[in-house]
């Protein structure tokens, strides 16, 4: 009782916690959900990848902006140093540095404005416009001719530059812009790291879900394949075995016989085919019905199996007919002893509650290669010998080659309780002492002349 309860609980909870045991509709729904989650997680990972790449592009652009601001700052410093050096020493070399600083300032400012337009940023564009608008056309030509001008004109130019560019204010503006764009670049770097982490998480989740999908699918497929293999094996077994007695059927035993006959050494080793027909079985069906008849066939099959050697093949051909296939029977005494044991196995009544049923066996024996070397010939010879046993009164056996060996139509009949002569096979009375006899030692029928 306890093992049954435990088994039922394990099966019930197994169906809950092991999805591969679910029904087809539930499993299909689960697989659909898993595949949807895999697609969503993978799509989220791709979106995070695109966001990460976008942040990398923005970081690169803002880094270029910061670099451009640094260049403008360097230009302003060059202008200031060149002007201060010229005012202190009066050397024209400082004017050259000053002039190149002015040219670089306007050039780098224009480049930075173009870069800001490409990035779509508005911070600092107004300040840069004020720095370069309408000043380049006046200041640049004058700065390029300062070497040929006097000190007064140069100082006047310096005053115009201070009024137009306002170098101290420009330095502060550039530092503010640099700090702002540097902060934006740092924020983009942090966002890029977050996107990268989320990308890893989504890819990991998609991998786990996809692994679960594959594992569940593979487990269910393996389980279904195993079930199909078991079903095929069961169907194959049922197709080649008798469902009532569990014995091989005609197709199975004939295949085994054909394979054995294909072996060239079978002529040396020999084999025997025993065709068995039950005596009195029809009366069992007529009197007690087919249910009792089926039980009787099962009992007969078990008794026959109990007296056979290991490796002997007993098959049910249909109805009350059986076929026994013996290998290594070059000596006729071997199938004779087996036939004696088969007949004697039915000497005791069959206990089929509440009845006691007496049956007999008529047996025909065919030997290979004496009686034939093909399965059809051997089966036909054994069947004919079995009918001679029936004609002789039943409960005996004949060899297929008895007449050819001079034995005639004599039946080999053990002294058994069930002779099937003068009494019914359905008798419930036990056999008398006169009918009961000991099993005589069999003699080789082919040794008689």
For range 132-138, the mean pLDDT: 54
Q: Are residues 36 and 177 in the same domain?
A: yes
Of 199, 220, 239, the residue at which a domain comes to its end is 199
Angle at 316 between CA 312 and CA 317, to 5 degrees: 120
Q: Are residues 288 and 193 in the same domain?
A: no
Count of domains forming the chain: 2
Neighbours of 151 (CB within 10 A): 10
Residue 273 included in any domain: yes
Q: Are residues 296 and 422 in the same domain?
A: yes
For range 189-209, the mean pLDDT: 86
Of 199, 226, 258, the residue at which a domain comes to its end is 199
CA 401/CA 408 separation, integer angstroms: 9
pLDDT in tens, 297-311: 999 999 999 999 888
pLDDT in tens, 315-327: 999 999 999 999 9
CA 13/CA 430 separation, integer angstroms: 57
**Comparing 76-90, 193-207, 211-225, which segment has the lowest mean pLDDT?**
76-90
Q: Are residues 176 and 255 in the same domain?
A: no
Q: Which of residues 157 and 408 earns the better pLDDT score?
A: 157
Q: Which of residues 409 and 394 earns the better pLDDT score?
A: 394
Q: Read off the pLDDT band of 413 (50, 70, 90).
A: low
pLDDT in tens, 353-385: 777 888 999 999 999 988 988 999 999 999 999
The CATH number that applies at residue 393 is 3.30.70.270
Contact 352, 330 (CB under 8 A): no
Residue 357 included in any domain: yes
Q: Are residues 58 and 123 in the same domain?
A: yes
Beta bridge partners, 271, equal: 327, 368
For range 393-416, the mean pLDDT: 64
Q: Which of residues 52 and 173 earns the better pLDDT score?
A: 52
- Select from 339, 343, 371, 369 the least CA-distant residue to 358: 343
Show the 3-state SS of the chain. Answer: CHHHHHHHHHHHHHHHHCHHHCCHHHHHHHHHHHHHHHHHHHHHHHHHHHHHHHHHHHHHHHHHHHHHHHHHHHHHHHHHHHHHHHHHHCCHHHHHHHHHHHHHHHHHHHHHHHHHHHHCCCCCHHHHHHHHCCCHHHHHHHHHCHHHCCHHHHHHHHHHHHHHHCHHHHHHHHHHHHHHHHHHHHHHHHHHHHHHHHHHHHHHHHHHHHHHHHHHHHHHHHHHHHHHHHHHHHHHHHHHECCCCCCECHHHHHHHHHHHHCCCCHHHHCEEEEEEEEECHHHHHHHHCHHHHHHHHHHHHHHHHHCCCCCCEEEEEECCEEEEEEECCCCCHHHHHHHHHHHHHCCCCEEECCEEECCEEEEEEEEECCCCCCHHHHHHHHHHHHHHHHHCCCCCEEECCCHHHCCCCCCECCCCCCCCCCCCCCCCCCCCCCCCCCCCCCCCHHHCC
Q: Read off the pLDDT band of 442 (50, 70, 90).
A: very low
**347: containing domain:** 250-440
For residue 444, pLDDT over 80 is answered with no
Angle at 437 between CA 435 and CA 439, to 5 degrees: 140
pLDDT of residue 441: 41
pLDDT of residue 113: 80
Characterize the bridge pairing of strands 321-327 and 355-357.
unpaired
For residue 414, pLDDT over 60 is answered with no
pLDDT in tens, 252-282: 999 999 999 888 888 788 899 999 999 999 8
pLDDT of residue 24: 67
Return the CA Rg of the chain: 55
Q: Are residues 304 and 170 in the same domain?
A: no
Q: Which of residues 423 and 96 earns the better pLDDT score?
A: 96
pLDDT of residue 31: 76
- Select from 409, 388, 396, 392 the least CA-distant residue to 339: 396
Q: Read off the pLDDT band of 436 (50, 70, 90).
A: very low
Residue 2 included in any domain: no
- Treating both helix axes as pointing N-terminal to C-terminal, what angle do 167-240 and 125-132 enclose, rounded to 10 degrees? 140
Q: Are residues 257 and 185 in the same domain?
A: no
Q: Are residues 338 and 423 in the same domain?
A: yes
pLDDT of residue 123: 67
Q: Which of residues 335 and 103 earns the better pLDDT score?
A: 335
Residue 45 included in any domain: yes
Q: Are residues 189 and 73 in the same domain?
A: yes
pTM of the model: 0.55
For residue 22, pLDDT over 90 is answered with no
pLDDT of residue 448: 35
Residue 279 included in any domain: yes
Q: Read off the pLDDT band of 105 (50, 70, 90).
A: confident
For residue 445, pLDDT over 80 is answered with no
Q: Are residues 325 and 414 in the same domain?
A: yes
Residue 71 included in any domain: yes
For residue 11, pLDDT over 90 is answered with no
CA 449/CA 445 separation, integer angstroms: 9
Q: Are residues 183 and 255 in the same domain?
A: no
**Comparing 85-89, 256-260, 325-329, 344-348, which segment has the lowest mean pLDDT?**
85-89
Q: Are residues 254 and 190 in the same domain?
A: no
Burial of 185 from C-beta contacts in 10 A (0-12 / 13-18 / 19+): buried
For residue 133, pLDDT over 80 is answered with no
pLDDT of residue 9: 41
For range 88-95, the mean pLDDT: 63
pLDDT of residue 165: 62
Residue 235 included in any domain: no
Q: Read off the pLDDT band of 425 (50, 70, 90).
A: very low
Q: Read off the pLDDT band of 157 (50, 70, 90).
A: low
pLDDT of residue 172: 79
pLDDT of residue 408: 42
Contact 436, 411 (CB under 8 A): no
Residue 19 included in any domain: no
Beta bridge partners, 356, equal: 351
pLDDT of residue 57: 87
Q: Read off the pLDDT band of 403 (50, 70, 90).
A: low
Mean pLDDT over the full length of the chain: 76
For residue 424, pLDDT over 70 is answered with no
Q: For the chain, what percent of residues have pLDDT higher than 90? A: 22
CA 114/CA 121 separation, integer angstroms: 11
Angle at 233 between CA 231 and CA 239, to 5 degrees: 100
pLDDT of residue 161: 65
């Amino acid at each position: 009782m306890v093992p049954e309860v435990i088994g039922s609980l394990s099966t019930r909870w197994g169906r809950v916690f092991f999805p591969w045991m679910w029904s087809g509709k539930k499993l299909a729904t689960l697989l659909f959900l898993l595949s949807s989650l895999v697609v969503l997680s993978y799509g989220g990972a791709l979106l995070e990848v695109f966001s990460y790449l976008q942040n990398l592009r923005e970081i690169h652009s803002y880094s270029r902006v910061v670099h451009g601001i640094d260049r403008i700052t360097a230009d302003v410093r060059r202008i200031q140093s060149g002007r201060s050096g010229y005012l202190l020493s009066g050397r024209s070399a400082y004017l050259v540095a000053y002039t190149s600083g002015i040219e670089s300032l306007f050039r780098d400012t224009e480049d930075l404005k173009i870069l800001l337009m490409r990035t779509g940023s508005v911070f600092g564009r107004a300040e840069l416009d004020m720095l370069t608008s309408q000043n380049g056309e006046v200041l640049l030509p004058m700065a390029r001719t300062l070497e040929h001008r006097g000190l007064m004109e140069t100082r006047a130019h310096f005053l115009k530059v201070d009024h137009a560019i306002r170098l101290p204010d420009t330095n502060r503006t550039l530092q503010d812009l640099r700090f702002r764009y540097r902060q934006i670049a740092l924020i983009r770097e942090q966002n890029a790291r977050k996107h990268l982490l989320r990308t890893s998480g989504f890819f990991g989740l998609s991998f786990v879900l996809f692994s679960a999908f594959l594992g569940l699918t593979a487990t269910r497929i393996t389980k279904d394949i195993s079930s199909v293999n078991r079903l095929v094996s069961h169907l194959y077994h049922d197709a080649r075995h008798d469902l009532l007695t569990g014995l091989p059927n005609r197709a199975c035993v004939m295949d085994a016989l054909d394979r054995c006959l294909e072996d060239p050494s079978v002529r040396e080793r020999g084999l025997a085919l025993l065709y068995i027909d039950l005596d009195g079985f029809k009366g069992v069906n007529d009197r007690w019905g087919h249910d009792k008849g089926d039980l009787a066939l099962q009992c007969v099959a078990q008794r026959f199996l109990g007296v056979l050697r290991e490796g002997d093949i007993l098959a049910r051909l249909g109805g009350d007919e059986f076929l026994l296939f013996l290998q290594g029977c070059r000596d006729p005494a071997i199938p004779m002893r087996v036939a004696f044991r088969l007949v004697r196995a039915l000497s005791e009544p069959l206990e089929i509650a509440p009845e006691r049923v007496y049956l007999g066996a008529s047996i025909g024996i065919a030997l290979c290669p004496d009686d034939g070397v093909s399965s059809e010939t051997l089966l036909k010879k054994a069947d004919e010998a079995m009918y001679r046993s029936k004609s002789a009164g039943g409960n005996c056996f004949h060899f297929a080659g008895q007449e050819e060996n001079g034995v005639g139509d004599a039946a080999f009949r053990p002294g058994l309780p069930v002779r099937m002569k003068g009494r019914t096979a359905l008798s419930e009375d036990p056999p008398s002492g006169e009918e009961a006899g000991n099993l005589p030692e069999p003699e080789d029928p082919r040794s008689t002349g």
